[in-house]
Each structure stands twice: as C-alpha cells, then as structure tokens.
A and B are shown apart, each in its own frame.
Chain A
Amino acid sequence: MTPLRRPDVSAADGGSLWLVPYAVLAGFILLDGLPIDYQWLGRIELGLYFVPIFFIAISPSERDFAPFGIILLGLVNDVLSEAPIGYWTFLFGLFYLLAMGQRSLLQEARLGAIWANFLVLCVATYLAGYFIGLLRADMAIGLGVYFSSAFVTSLFFPLLYIPLAWLETGALSASLLRRDE
C-alpha cells in the first residue's frame, strides 16, 4: 500500500472542498435517526460520524473552524439522538483532540497504519462514553456492546475514508490544473 499523502486545502484552491467532511458528518447524524431496521447489527451503536471527524482532525490544513464545527454538530447529535446534552459533544471533541495529536504521525502513513490508529482512538472514545454512562443514573451502557461498536465502526473506516481522501485529492488536482491552464 502506498502512503496516503493528503494535500493542504486551506488555500483558496480548495474552494469549499473543506466543507465536504462536515456535510458527511451532518448526513450521518441525520441518517442515524432513520427508522431502518438494523437487525443484523443487534444492539451495536455504530459511530460512523467518527470517520469524517478523523478525516478533519488529521487534515494537513488546520482550520480554527474545525473544533467549533465538530462541537456544534456534536450538540446537534445530542439533540437529535436524545442523548444527554453534552454526551456526543464531549465524545466528538475528545475524538477530535485525540486524532489531532496523531496528525504529524499520520502525514506519511500508509492506509493500514491510519486504520489501526482510527481503531485505537475509536476504542478509547467508546471507553470514555462507557465511563460517562457509569457516572449518570439515566444511562445504561454495556461495556461489551461499546467495545463491539468500536470494532464494527472501524470496519467501515476504509469505505468512507478512501472516497473522502480521493475526492479531496482529485478535486484539488483538477482545480490546480484549471488554474495552470
């Protein structure tokens, strides 16, 4: 596997491309509430939102908007998912912070390493979510369910991360080509 080197889209060349992962994140928040019968998933709490957050956090183009945007979407998720207000806000923020710390490490990393990193961060975040559940009387979360959720979520990682990275690189190259012409 070749390293997934991502371009800096903070310059004007990127246009509104940087908004794509936020839109994907918002989409997952809305999709999460749909009455789809995930019988095959059982009681798993699928956290697909963590993929776009990870994508934003390890982006070479650092944006001040990122933590605000993620926290705001976390609040929206708290409201729409009926979770205690602050639950997803905290978990989104924590995951973003943890992933941000890996940014320099993952700039030249191969997909496998990025994937493994995502899995570790997912497990850590779900564990934090479990501990919050222990501190609150109105939440009952099974540790096993949360660990399985972290693993199942990470299985979806390449399916979402690769298209996002491809879109970013492809669209940016096209934009640069147009500018050169």
Chain B
Amino acid sequence: MAKIGGGVSETRFVSTTGIALLCVLVGVLLLFSLPRDDPRVTQIRQAAFDVFMPIMDTLGRPFVALRETTLEVSELGGLRDENHRLLAENQALRLKINEMTQSQFLMQQYRALLDLPPEPGLELLPVRVVADLSSPFVKTLVAKGGENIGIEAGLAVIGTNGLIGRVISSGQQSSRILLLTDFNSNIPVVALASDVHAILAGRNNASPELQFIPRKAELKDGDLLVTSGRGGRIPIGLPVGLLRLDADGGVPKVELLDDVKGLIHVRVVKSAQIEAPPDIDPSARKGR
C-alpha cells in the first residue's frame, strides 16, 4: 500500500503500482486512438511550442553561440584555401550571371509572345531555428516566428542552397517545419534534364526517395531536382537535390542540396497563393 507522509498508512483502493498501471493503460489508449495528424493534436502541439518557444530560445542560445564560435575557429585554419576557392567560384558565377541575364531577357520575350500571366513574386522571411526535433521517427524543426511575421501553414522553407521542408503549422510566435527527410513529407518535384515529374518522399533517413515515377521515364544520375509547383502552394523551380540512381535498379534516392542537420537559420518562402479555379455549375457541365 502507498505510504503517505511520515510512515502513516491508510486503507486505499488502489496501490501506487495500480495507479502506475492505469497511467500506462492511458498511454496505450492515447497511442492507438489518436492519429498523428489529428487537428486537435496539431493545435495542442502548436500552442505548446508558442508557450515553450521563449524558454527553448533562451536555453539554446549558449549552444548556438558555442557552435558558431567553433565553426568560426575551424574555418580560420583554411582561410587562404577558402579565399582561392571563392575567387574561382566568383569568376564562374560572373559567367553564369551573363548567361542568366540573356535567358531572363529571352524568357520575358517568350512570355510576352505566349501572353502568360506573370509568376507571383517570392518574399523570403528569415527565421531562426529554436528546436530541432529530429529523432528516429520524426524530422521536424521549430522556428521563432509565426503568424506575427506572416508565416502560415503550407509555405516552403529553404536553407542556404535549396528546399529543406515546409511549414506544417503556425502559431502566434512559432512555427513547425516538416523536413523533407520526414516519413510524412511528400513534395512534387521535377527532374530538370529528363523532365520527369515525381514525388519526393522522406524515409526518416538522410536521403529521401523518388516515388511515383512514370514507367517509361529515363532518369539521369546527378540530375537536378526542382519543385514542380504542383499543388499550388510550393512555388515552382526551387532547387531540392541531386538524383542518385541505384546501380541495382532500386528506388532512386535524392542527395539534398542542404544538410538538414544542425540548421540554425532558414528562410520561409512566402508566395502569392494560386487561386482555385471557379466552381463550374453542375448543370452547365451536364450540358457539355
């Protein structure tokens, strides 16, 4: 029997072991009755992150500062080599800029000829990562900033080099980002060189897989994958990763352009939402 206070015992209905057993039972019931994407669970999580975000932000600052200092110190050693590399890269980029200016001009001409509407402009919102919830079963980040700076669910999130995930919920001061590597992440992409549309699916490891590939598609190893814009929420053309084909004919893997581990700063891509086509009158559809 449970003991209360300084050795005083009482007649009890349930012992501490019984209470513990009941609690475990509650855990099992919750586990198998609540789906992970239940809107109530999402709301509770978001509300909890709004409450805990300032604490996590404060607790995380020394660790982030330490990591940034360590990185700076380690970079000092290779400063000379880095400078040479950057000079060469700069030269190559100048050439690329010339090519891009020419392409941009041509694109404008083609768009005018085809009378295409202009693509919606993109606004980048820089946010700081306050929590990295990566574990063997989930790959999620929590960022400082939510509805207060215009972040809403569904927006794309990019790192230094390309897409890293999308916002799954946004609270008043914080937002949750589902990484491309998460088991529940599915993003429509297109392989640039082979023009093949597919779905990039996270597998809870470093390399997401390419799924729903057309049967006769001819993929090329090293092909750059960009977002296809299908679904309307994630803008078209955001670089994602490089295609890595399996020599044994297995599912093609994708090497992401950004390392999603240890991210400190990310950018949320705010784009104008594409309006859904107007509802067609069912009677008019029948008449056609």
Residues of A participating in the B interface, judged by any CB pair closer than 8 Å: 10-12, 30-31, 33-37, 39, 43, 45, 61-64, 66-68, 70-71, 74-76, 79-87, 89-94, 96-97, 100, 132-133, 135, 138-142, 145-146, 149
**Segment among B117-125, B153-161, B212-220, B261-269 that sits at the interface with chain A:** B261-269
Nearest residue, chain B, Cβ from A13: B6
What residues on A are CB-neighbors of B183 within 8 Å? 138-140
Interface residue from A71, A97, A140 paired with B203 (Cβ < 8 Å): A140
* Bound-complex Cα distance A150 to B200 (A): 32
What residues on A are CB-neighbors of B131 within 8 Å? 33-35, 80
Contact call B27/A71, Cβ cutoff below 8 A: yes
Chain B interface residue count, CB cutoff 8 Å, equals: 57
What residues on A are CB-neighbors of B32 within 8 Å? 86, 135
**Segment among B72-80, B135-143, B225-233, B271-279 that sits at the interface with chain A:** B135-143
Contact call B6/A93, Cβ cutoff below 8 A: no
* Bound-complex Cα distance A131 to B24 (A): 16
What are 28 pairs between A and B in contact, CB < 8 Å? A11-B6, A11-B7, A30-B55, A34-B60, A35-B63, A35-B130, A35-B131, A35-B264, A36-B67, A37-B262, A45-B135, A67-B16, A71-B27, A75-B30, A79-B44, A80-B48, A80-B52, A85-B41, A89-B23, A89-B27, A90-B24, A90-B30, A91-B27, A92-B27, A133-B137, A140-B203, A140-B204, A141-B136
B31 within 8 A of A: yes
Contact call A66/B16, Cβ cutoff below 8 A: yes
Contact call B133/A33, Cβ cutoff below 8 A: yes
Would you list the 3 A-B pairs with minimal beta carbon distance, nearest first?
Answer: A86-B31, A86-B30, A37-B262
Interface residue from B2, B26, B31, B261 paired with A87 (Cβ < 8 Å): B31
Contact call A84/B3, Cβ cutoff below 8 A: no
What residues on A are CB-neighbors of B21 within 8 Å? 97
Contact call B31/A82, Cβ cutoff below 8 A: no
B28 within 8 A of A: yes
**Closest chain A CB from B4 CB (angstroms):** 7
Residues of B participating in the A interface, judged by any CB pair closer than 8 Å: 2-7, 16-17, 19-24, 26-32, 34, 36, 41, 44-45, 48-49, 52, 55-56, 59-60, 63-64, 67, 129-133, 135-138, 140-142, 176, 183-184, 203-204, 261-264
Nearest residue, chain A, Cβ from B49: A80
Interface residue from B26, B28, B44, B133 paired with A81 (Cβ < 8 Å): B133
Contact call A89/B30, Cβ cutoff below 8 A: yes
**Closest chain A CB from B131 CB (angstroms):** 4
Contact call B136/A34, Cβ cutoff below 8 A: no
Most chain-B CB neighbours within 10 Å: which of A39, A62, A63? Answer: A62
Interface residue from A35, A84, A90, A140 paired with B64 (Cβ < 8 Å): A35
Nearest residue, chain B, Cβ from A69: B23
Known pairs A86-B31, A90-B24; list 18 more (Cβ under 8 Å): A33-B142, A34-B63, A34-B131, A35-B141, A36-B132, A36-B262, A37-B261, A45-B135, A64-B19, A68-B19, A75-B30, A82-B45, A85-B34, A93-B20, A96-B20, A132-B31, A133-B137, A146-B136
* Bound-complex Cα distance A33 to B142 (A): 9
Contact call B5/A11, Cβ cutoff below 8 A: yes
**Closest chain B CB from A38 CB (angstroms):** 9
What residues on B are CB-neighbors of A141 within 8 Å? 136-137
What residues on A are CB-neighbors of B55 within 8 Å? 30
Most chain-B CB neighbours within 10 Å: which of A12, A34, A75, A132? Answer: A34
Contact call A86/B34, Cβ cutoff below 8 A: yes
